[in-house]
């Protein structure tokens, strides 16, 4: 039950209290912590390896179904009793499902941390998964799918994701009607049993808490959890062929995607800075060229998505049917122009935006907790605020432009949706 690895690191010589801690139990369960005594709250995030990439073919939505059923009672508590306990403690909770992970996140007053950990230990290790509520859970998930079906931009984004990352990694985490309607209680139970394990769990805690006390609590709650063999990841099979989907609407929706460097790999920051300058916000090149100068659409932008093995940059726009071709041409032109480089002024604005976002994250215990997990899973260590800030501020126009010149957008995938294109 004891920890086999524990470390802590002072974040800044001028900050005497904030520390980053790490503890790994002998069964592989990992605890990360950042102690911030000046906070009145504390947040935690349980990362588990139960992502949608493990959904069987024809059963897309399995991970979403497992999550839904896990939240319907835990330990000795029924569904209603579990929710009442959450409210009684005053937990602000969310769940996040991605291709590779299912995360349970919670924020509360500092004095309620231990009680919250008791609840979530039962949630992870002893969910009720009530068979009699299976159909209720199914209806909730089908409602989620109906909502997505009514969102044209969301439907196009899903088409792009599946073609870019492949069906296993890119299908909708919420699943589809065929999958949700066919999943049985026995399959939900089997999926939970196969994929929920301590050696695929990371708990990150940030805010006002006692590290030693929390570490001992975690040893008691999770130390006797038996590890399991991690399953192999499914293959990354893609079909990157451009596609137009007919849709009766005066609006045409456009999305373009191309490969970029995955998060935290060498030179990723410079390349992602370029994508932000291209389409990240109301002063980006795409916003100015497509909306402000030509008035083709209300909203246009670019963002990056990174999985553990691949990443893509995606440009999106919605415009009137008669402007679709020219909108696409302008976006393509701006993507091509990016390899010519960025300016000092553009890079300076990017650094200011990034620093503001980073400072805001430091004021949220939940953002800090999720950031601990991201670094740990990607790097095997946790970066400090100073390290991240210095990494961004050290970017130069020469470095960014060198990366953009050596890695121009190639094999751009285009997906559109509307009446004609």
**3-state SS string over 180-238?**
HHHCCHHHHHHHHHHHCCHHHEEEEEEECCCHHHHHHHHHHHHCCCCCCCCCCCCCCCC
According to the model, what pLDDT value does residue 10 have? 39
| Kind plus residue range of the DSSP H or E element containing 284 | none
pLDDT level of residue 13 (50, 70, 90 thresholds): very low
| Burial of 196 from C-beta contacts in 10 A (0-12 / 13-18 / 19+) | buried
- pLDDT of residue 385 exceeding 90, the answer is no
Which structure tokens are listed for 118? 């008791």
The predicted model gives 155-171 an average pLDDT of: 94
Which are the contacts of 235, defined by CB distance < 8 A and separation ≥ 6? 166, 168
Give the model's confidence band at 113: pLDDT under 50 very low, under 70 low, under 90 confident, else very high. Answer: very high
pLDDT of the residue at 235: 78
* Banded pLDDT at 3 (limits 50, 70, 90): very low
pLDDT for 15: 39
Q: What is the pLDDT of residues 173-209, one digit of tens each?
A: 999 999 999 999 999 999 999 999 999 999 999 999 9
Phi, psi of 2 (to 5 degrees): -70, 165
The mean pLDDT value for 315-337 works out to 96
CA angle, 370 as apex, 369 and 374 as ends, to 5°?
A: 120
Handedness of CA 377, 379, 382, 386 (dihedral sign): negative
For residue 407, give the 3-state DSSP assignment. coil
| pLDDT, position 151 | 85
Give the number of other CB atoms < 10 A from CB of residue 239.
11
Q: What percentage of the chain has pLDDT greater than the value 90?
A: 81
Instruction: Report the number of secondary-structure helices (H) and strands (E) in the chain.
Output: 16, 12
Provide the β-strand partners of residue 92.
107
Phi first, then psi: what are they for 396, rounded to 5°? -120, 160
pLDDT (mean) for 95-105: 96
226-239 per-position pLDDT tens digit: 999 988 888 777 88
Q: What percent of the chain has pLDDT over 70?
A: 96
Closest CA to 100 of 226, 193, 231: 231
Tell me the average pLDDT across 93-101: 95
Q: Given the DSSP bridges, would you call strands 413-418 and 243-246 parallel, antiparallel or unpaired?
A: parallel
Q: Is the pLDDT of residue 299 over 60?
A: yes
Q: Determine if residue 282 is left, alpha or beta; phi over 0 gives left, psi from -120 to 50 gives alpha, anything else beta.
A: alpha
Confidence at residue 11, expressed as pLDDT on a 0 to 100 scale: 41
Residue 71: is its pLDDT beyond 70?
yes
CA 189 to chain centroid, in Å, comes to: 25
Please check the confidence at residue 19 and state whether its pLDDT lies above 90: no
Q: What are phi and psi of 119, to 5 degrees?
A: -60, -45
For 304-324, what is each residue's pLDDT tens digit? 999 978 999 999 999 999 999
Q: Read off the pLDDT band of 49 (50, 70, 90).
A: very high
All structural domains of the chain, each given as residue ranges with its CATH number in brackets, are 3-222 (3.30.830.10), 243-418 (3.30.830.10)
Over residues 245-274, the mean pLDDT reads 94
Q: Is 237 exposed, middle or buried (0-12, 13-18, 19+ CB in 10 A)?
A: exposed
User: Is the pLDDT at 149 greater than 60, yes or no?
Assistant: yes
Say what the pLDDT of residue 152 is: 84
Say what the pLDDT of residue 100 is: 92
Averaged pLDDT score across all residues of the chain: 92
The residues, any chain, with a CB within 8 Å of residue 142's CB and separated by 6 or more, are: 177, 180, 181
Q: d(Cα 66, Cα 195) in Å, to the nearest integer?
A: 10
């Amino acid at each position: 039950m004891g920890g086999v690895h524990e470390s802590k690191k002072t974040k800044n010589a001028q900050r005497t209290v904030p520390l980053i801690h790490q503890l790994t139990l002998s069964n592989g369960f990992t605890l990360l912590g950042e102690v911030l005594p000046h906070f009145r709250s504390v947040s935690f995030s349980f990362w588990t390896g139960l992502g949608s990439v493990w959904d069987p073919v024809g059963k897309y939505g399995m991970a979403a179904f497992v999550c839904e059923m896990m939240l319907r009672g835990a330990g000795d508590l029924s569904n209603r009793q579990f929710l009442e306990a959450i409210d009684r403690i005053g937990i602000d909770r969310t769940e996040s499902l991605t291709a590779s992970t299912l995360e349970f996140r919670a924020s509360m007053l500092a004095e309620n941390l231990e009680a919250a950990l008791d609840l979530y230990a039962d949630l992870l290790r002893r969910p009720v998964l009530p068979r009699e509520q299976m159909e209720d859970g199914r209806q909730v998930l089908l409602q989620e799918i109906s909502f997505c079906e009514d969102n044209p931009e969301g439907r196009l984004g899903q088409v792009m994701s599946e073609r870019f990352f492949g069906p296993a990694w890119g299908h909708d985490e919420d699943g589809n009607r065929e999958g949700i309607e066919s999943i049985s209680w026995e399959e939900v139970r089997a999926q939970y049993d196969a994929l929920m394990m301590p050696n695929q769990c990371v708990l990150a805690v940030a805010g006002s808490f006692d590290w030693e006390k929390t570490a001992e609590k975690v040893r008691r709650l999770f130390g006797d959890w038996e590890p399991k063999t991690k399953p192999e990841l499914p293959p990354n099979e893609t079909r990157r062929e451009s596609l137009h989907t007919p849709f009766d609407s005066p609006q045409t929706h456009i999305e373009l995607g191309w490969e970029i460097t995955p998060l935290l790999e060498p030179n990723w920051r410079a390349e992602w800075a370029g994508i932000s300058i291209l389409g990240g916000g109301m002063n980006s090149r795409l916003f100015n060229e497509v909306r402000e100068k030509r008035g083709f659409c209300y909203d246009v932008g670019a963002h990056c998505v990174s999985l553990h093995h691949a990443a893509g940059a995606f440009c999106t726009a919605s415009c009137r049917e008669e402007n679709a071709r020219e909108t696409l041409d302008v976006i393509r032109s701006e993507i091509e122009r990016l390899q010519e480089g960025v300016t000092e002024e553009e890079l300076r604005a990017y650094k200011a935006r990034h620093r503001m976002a980073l400072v805001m994250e430091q004021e949220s215990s939940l953002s800090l907790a999720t950031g601990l997990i991201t670094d740990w899973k990607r790097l095997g260590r946790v970066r400090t605020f100073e390290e991240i800030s210095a990494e961004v501020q050290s970017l130069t126009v020469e470095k960014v432009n060198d990366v953009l010149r050596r890695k121009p957008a190639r094999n751009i995938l285009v997906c559109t949706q509307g009446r004609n294109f």
